[in-house]
Copies of this chain bind each other. A is one copy, B any other.
Amino acid sequence: MLKAILHTRPSRQLDTIFTQKDLQRLNGTVEVLWGKDEEMPQESWTQAKKEASILIGIPRYGVGDVDEKAAPHLKAIMEVGGAHPRRELVDYETCFRRSIRVLSCAPAFAKMVAEFALGHALAALRNIVDADQKIRRGEEKWGWRGQADICTLYNATVGIIGYGNLARELRLLLAPFNCKLHAYDPWLPDTYLEQQGIKPMTLEALLQACDVSFVLAIPTRENRELLNRENLEQIKPGAVLVLASRSHLVDFDALIELANAGKFRATIDVYPEEPPPPDHPVRRTENTVLTCHMAGGIDPAFYRIGEMVTDDVEAIAAGLPPISMQVAQPEFVARR
């Protein structure tokens, strides 16, 4: 039986990511070393690595050596969060050389974020958040004449900025609305998008054309403030921008300034500083829907983490490649 080191950190305790059923599956598949809600002492870790085939959870002091001597049986390093570990924590080069897979649980969050992004888009397009506040203040407008600027997703032109896990799930949710889908993703060949019925576009053309645009790209060195002031000014008047992945992607000050000025509507779940300071102007922005980094991190996503980890432990124990988690690719590691 293969051995796996399992330990967690405060925000991912065992009972928040593993159901009883999955823990049983896990214990039936590998011999679990440590297996506690606290970090293994570094010395024990170094010792246990000599026996372990799978490491689940990355310690704060880093994985350390993963060469043939330090970790002779190692096959996989599994991060129980949504992103691959930082390069300070894992020696990726040695992992790639030895075909040790470094895995994240990014796909666990994709459905939850897609649903939330759709909820944001509908809340903005159909004025749901705004109407609720006005009714509570006695300021709402009745009758269809009050709804002049209201739009619908049906038959809308929709843009997706960054076409990865999140976008693939969002596409499924948008399917019944019969939208025209456009995407901007410099990492994907046009034909890949076209095969999925999506029209590739430059960022500028997308912002000008779309009734709703979803910012779903993961942050890289290259896409900081991809949506700078100049690009934000291209957004179609009255359109909705859904900022769902990371604030890293936008010039946040320009975003709230332009939303306040009524150039477009924005929905925001992520902020440059979280929480934003009590007096940060974003808290008083108009034409916005604001939530507090709630898109992905809800219970079903966390239990999906445990399920994915257990799936891939089973696969590796059976001599098969992992199937559920996301494997780190050298090219993306190089760009971080």
Q: Please give the residue numbers on chain A whose beta carbons come within 8 Å of chain B beta carbons, in ascending order.
A: 11, 96-99, 111-112, 115-116, 118-120, 122-123, 125-129, 131-136, 138, 140-144, 146-148, 150-155, 172-173, 175-178, 186-189, 191-192, 197, 274-275, 278, 283-284, 289-294, 297-300, 302, 307, 310-312, 314-315, 318-321, 323-324, 329-332, 334-335
Contact = CB atoms under 8 A, between A and B. Distances in A.
B283 A150 contact: no
Contact of A96 (B99, B112, B318): B99
B135 A292 contact: yes
A189 B197 CA distance: 27
A178 B197 contact: yes
Contacts of A119: 119, 122-123, 125-126, 128
Contacts of A172: 176
If over half of A's interface residues share one DSSP class (helix, strand or loop), that class is named, otherwise mixed; here it is helix
Contacts of A123: 119, 122-123, 128-129
Contacts of A312: 189
Given A140-B292, A142-B274, A331 B320 contact: yes
6 contacts: A99-B330, A112-B154, A116-B126, A120-B128, A136-B283, A173-B176
B292 A142 contact: yes
- Sort A-B residue pairs by CB-CB distance and give the 10 closest, nearest first: A119-B122, A144-B297, A189-B311, A321-B329, A131-B291, A135-B290, A172-B176, A140-B292, A150-B298, A96-B99
A300 B175 CA distance: 19
B292 A192 contact: no
A284 B138 CA distance: 10
Contacts of A294: 126-127, 131, 147, 150
B144 A298 contact: yes
A229 to B, nearest CB: 24
